[in-house]
Structure 1
Amino acid sequence: MQELVTTIEQSELISAIDTVWVSLCAAIIFFMEAGFALLEAGFVRAKNAMSIIAKVIMDIAFGGLAFYIVGFGIAYGVSNGWFAFDTGITDADLGLGLRVSNKLFWFIQLGFAIAAISIVSGAVAERMKVWAYAIFVVIFCGIMYPLAANWIWNPNGWLALRGFNDFEGSAAVHAIGGFAALAAAIVLGPRLGKYGQDGEPVAIPCHNLPLAAVGSFILWFGWFGFNPGSTLGAVGNWELIGTVATNTFLASAAGGISTMFYTYFKYGQIDITMTINGVLAGLVAITAGCNVVGPDAALLIGIIAGVMVDVAVILIDKIKIDDPVGAIAVHGVNGLFGTIAVGLFASDGGLFFGGGTALLLTQCLGVLVIGAFSFTITYVIMTVMKKTIGIRVSRSEETAGIDAVSFGVEAYATFE
């Protein structure tokens, strides 16, 4: 009898510790939305700063409710490999071996869903109608993101069954958000004055670089809930948590440093805006494989990501796709790279560690399908809305600024 009581007490203690750990990480992940808001607001012009805040609020409120009502069931219900639907999911056995309640698991997953859609908000900044954006948020968080989560993280998902490794979303969060951002930016078209008569891009300076930097620091901090929190429990996972946290930091620091050096030697001075995105690129790239690569590989992944982000930003600009915050380069390009990097650098199964091509091919297949799915569905949705309700603000509203016209406020009021 005493042994039974002791076993029950141990089980409750384990659940209690894991609950505290997951709750803490979920709260940190949720706070990342403040980072998105400040980063994106700082990178746009002052006349549109509050519209960014509004869009991030929509990401949380509209996206959160859509994920609760339908999205979570699609992601984690009983899956046929491609799709699931279960309205009673919070009371079901998800088959994940959780030691925390399903409701808490829903809340931490909510953070990933709204992070994915927040990637899109920056790429459509300064020119998209607010209510059209809200509609897309609902579709994205209610259907699009949950489908990718089903394929990757549901025990019966087709990619999960193939051994696809995306520990915390280089593909499921960042690639899907980045390629949705790409499609949305293409359909919307560039901001007024972004390209001159000769077709060359015209720089539109961000209005508050310190604000953007603070946003990036919040995101950097939040990533240490984002990645380690995906262990979904502290008990028995202390070594894995340490590995994930260490790799996350090493890749992010290496990303920032490589961008500093790359921009210094390319332009003759350090580009601090690009360095901010270099740190984020390193974080995005390591997110898929932070559980399976060694620290040296994490450093190399970050170094490559820090260079790739600058190259991608310049290329995207040259082909006349206007992305005010660099979301496509940071999240789309490096989400793609980070997912593929697992197949190259994984200590067990990676190509460079004698594992052959099996894991690499699986990683390539998965991220390419997710990227194509996200781009295609977003392009169709945006095109339909463009031809019906309209997705772009009027020329006069764009010139005056969305804040004053749509919200009747300014980010920086003047006082007499």
Structure 2
Amino acid sequence: MIGTMKTRKTLLGGALVALAAGALVAGPAQAEVSEETAFVFNTLLFLIGGFLVMLMAAGFAMLEVGFVRTKHAAAICLKNIALYSIAGIMFYLVGYQIMYGGETPWFGMPAVWGPSELAGDAEISLETGYAAASDWFFQMVFVATAASIVSGTIAERVKLGPFFIFVVVLTAVIYPVQGSWEWGAGWLDSDFGFSDFAGSTLVHSTGGWAALAGAILLGARTGRFGPNATPMVPSSLPLATLGTFILWFGWFGFNGASQLAMGSAADAVAISQIFANTNMAAAAGVVTAYLLSMALGGGKANLAYCLNGALAGLVSITAEPLTPTILEAIAIGAVGSVIATFGAKFLEAVRIDDVVGAIPVHLFAGIWGTMAVPLTNSEASFFGQAVGVGAVGAFVFLSSFVVWLILKITVGIRLSPDAENVGGDLSELGHPAGSIFAAIDPGKPAAPAE
């Protein structure tokens, strides 16, 4: 579908123009080969970036499982695989048309594939520069990322059913509407020059605002704050560390493929620079969080802060991973880590319970990364960035708050005290994370091996 790609970059068009210009010298035969080669490489970039971002769903799942208590581990796994699935279906049925427009009505089986792409190879149109389905797939996995952010914050006390209903609304309407303002060539892009390369605000802060609204209406976990507070011991910090590494790895697809083109040498160089900056911002986030946690902890480091420091560095560089130098990327990631660390302290002080620290990482560091864009990109302005941050924040928080409130009034969003005490695994799923078969009928003898 022509014109449905994110509009934050025009390099794809430039690459095709350059290829066409070179083809005029090389001849008609070379023109056809060059245009098709660019089409293939651009499509490949979307597909590789897409499945790397899809892998981030596993990273979020493992991070959350590691941070929650053991009695909620299976429920977290179900939440993450279900939200990814819901996001894909709803973005196909509704969200993609809202965000990028389309020639088919909503709920009318949207035409993700271009007409020529249903024909034989010889008839495929190369005018768009990429396969339409590859673009849709790349956009879809971003939506699931925003939903994953919400899951971690409100873990251990939200009911599964209402959470899934919220994911439906978030991925079908809330995310696509605000995304259309920038990546769909909307008013933030055209009137204010708002710049968000890969989604520090449009993806990460959106997830953070939605999570904040849910956390406020849900309240804290029983025993989390107050004079009778009890320790909330994570089930497995090694598993959370694995999740962080998976997210770090997937982020190369998140930021790198947001270049949106790989059909020229200039694109290849840009993607390489994005990879380097993305990696170094995360590394700076870890080192900064380590030193800061040592200072705050009387010489004892805090692993959770270091893990979130890496993620805060990644979120911070996501708004503009191309224009900074490596040293500037390190500085951006380090500041994001500081913001996330003290942001977590702030949430504790105001008694907002964020199980995995998603709000400081994705919301607070996302705002910082977006506002830092003009420091390295002269085409962006601080005013335009502030308008974008404010508009997206106001819309996402208020709309999410309304949805959560309606769910709270109608079906309820919080586990009962008894269900919360026994854990989401048994109260919502009927089995623990360790062994579903033993939990279903613990008195039944094991079947003989075949």
TM-score, length-normalised on structure 1?
Answer: 0.91
- Higher-Rg structure is 2
2:233 to 181, 187, 205: 205
Corresponding residue of 2:403: 381
SS at match of 2:263: coil
Corresponding residue of 1:325: 356
Matched, 1:41 2:65: yes
Q: Give, in angstroms, the shift of residue 196 of structure 1.
A: 2.3
Corresponding residue of 2:189: 160
2:175 to 145, 149, 155: 145
- The one-letter code matched in structure 1 to 2:139 is Q
Matched, 1:402 2:432: no
Check conservation: 2:37, 2:263, Cα contact below 8 A.
Answer: no
Matched, 1:125 2:152: no
Corresponding residue of 2:21: none
Matched, 1:247 2:247: no
1:251-280 deviation line (CA, Å, top 9, x unaligned): 111111000001111212111111000000
Corresponding residue of 1:304: 335
Cα separation, 2, equivalents of 1:147 and 1:256: 34
Q: CA RMSD in A?
A: 2.2
Corresponding residue of 2:84: 60
Corresponding residue of 1:217: 245
- The one-letter code matched in structure 1 to 2:53 is I
Cα separation, 1, equivalents of 2:145 and 2:225: 30
SS at match of 1:227: helix
1:4 to 4, 28, 41: 28
Larger displacement relative to structure 2 (97-106 or 367-376):
97-106
Check conservation: 1:76, 1:89, Cα contact below 8 A.
Answer: no
Corresponding residue of 2:254: 226
Larger displacement relative to structure 2 (131-140 or 368-377):
368-377
Q: Give, in angstroms, the shift of residue 98 of structure 1.
A: 4.4
Cα separation, 1, equivalents of 2:427 and 2:212: 26
- Moved beyond 3 Å, runs of 4+: 84-89, 413-416
1:230-267 deviation line (CA, Å, top 9, x unaligned): 11221220121122111111111111100000111121
Question: Matched residues, percent identical?
Answer: 37
Cα separation, 2, equivalents of 1:335 and 1:51: 28
Cα separation, 2, equivalents of 1:85 and 1:392: 32
2:205 to 158, 175, 189: 175
SS at match of 2:234: coil
Corresponding residue of 1:24: 48
Check conservation: 1:196, 1:202, Cα contact below 8 A.
Answer: no
Cα separation, 2, equivalents of 1:412 and 1:251: 36
1:31-58 deviation line (CA, Å, top 9, x unaligned): 1100000000110000001111111112
- The one-letter code matched in structure 2 to 1:186 is I
- The one-letter code matched in structure 1 to 2:149 is I
Cα separation, 1, equivalents of 2:273 and 2:68: 36
SS at match of 2:112: helix
SS at match of 1:196: coil
In structure 2, list runs of 5 or more residues that go unmatched: 1-23, 116-126, 443-450
Matched, 1:366 2:366: no
Distance 1:135 1:376, change over 3 A: same
Matched, 1:262 2:292: yes
Cα separation, 1, equivalents of 2:179 and 2:400: 17
Distance 1:347 1:73, change over 3 A: closer
Cα separation, 2, equivalents of 1:395 and 1:202: 15
Cα separation, 2, equivalents of 1:169 and 1:67: 17
SS at match of 1:52: helix
Q: Give, in angstroms, the shift of residue 114 of structure 1.
A: 0.2
Larger displacement relative to structure 2 (388-397 or 291-300):
291-300
Q: Give, in angstroms, the shift of residue 387 of structure 1.
A: 0.7
Check conservation: 1:98, 1:232, Cα contact below 8 A.
Answer: no
Q: Give, in angstroms, the shift of residue 294 of structure 1.
A: 2.3
Matched, 1:315 2:346: yes
- The one-letter code matched in structure 2 to 1:145 is Y
Cα separation, 2, equivalents of 1:124 and 1:384: 17
Cα separation, 2, equivalents of 1:86 and 1:248: 38
Cα separation, 1, equivalents of 2:57 and 2:129: 27
SS at match of 2:64: helix
Cα separation, 2, equivalents of 1:311 and 1:98: 45
SS at match of 1:230: helix
Cα separation, 2, equivalents of 1:206 and 1:184: 21
1:312-336 deviation line (CA, Å, top 9, x unaligned): 0011011011010001010011111
Cα separation, 2, equivalents of 1:330 and 1:13: 39
Distance 1:335 1:133, change over 3 A: same
Q: How many residues are matched?
A: 397
Distance 1:43 1:240, change over 3 A: same
1:1-24 deviation line (CA, Å, top 9, x unaligned): 993232112211221122222211
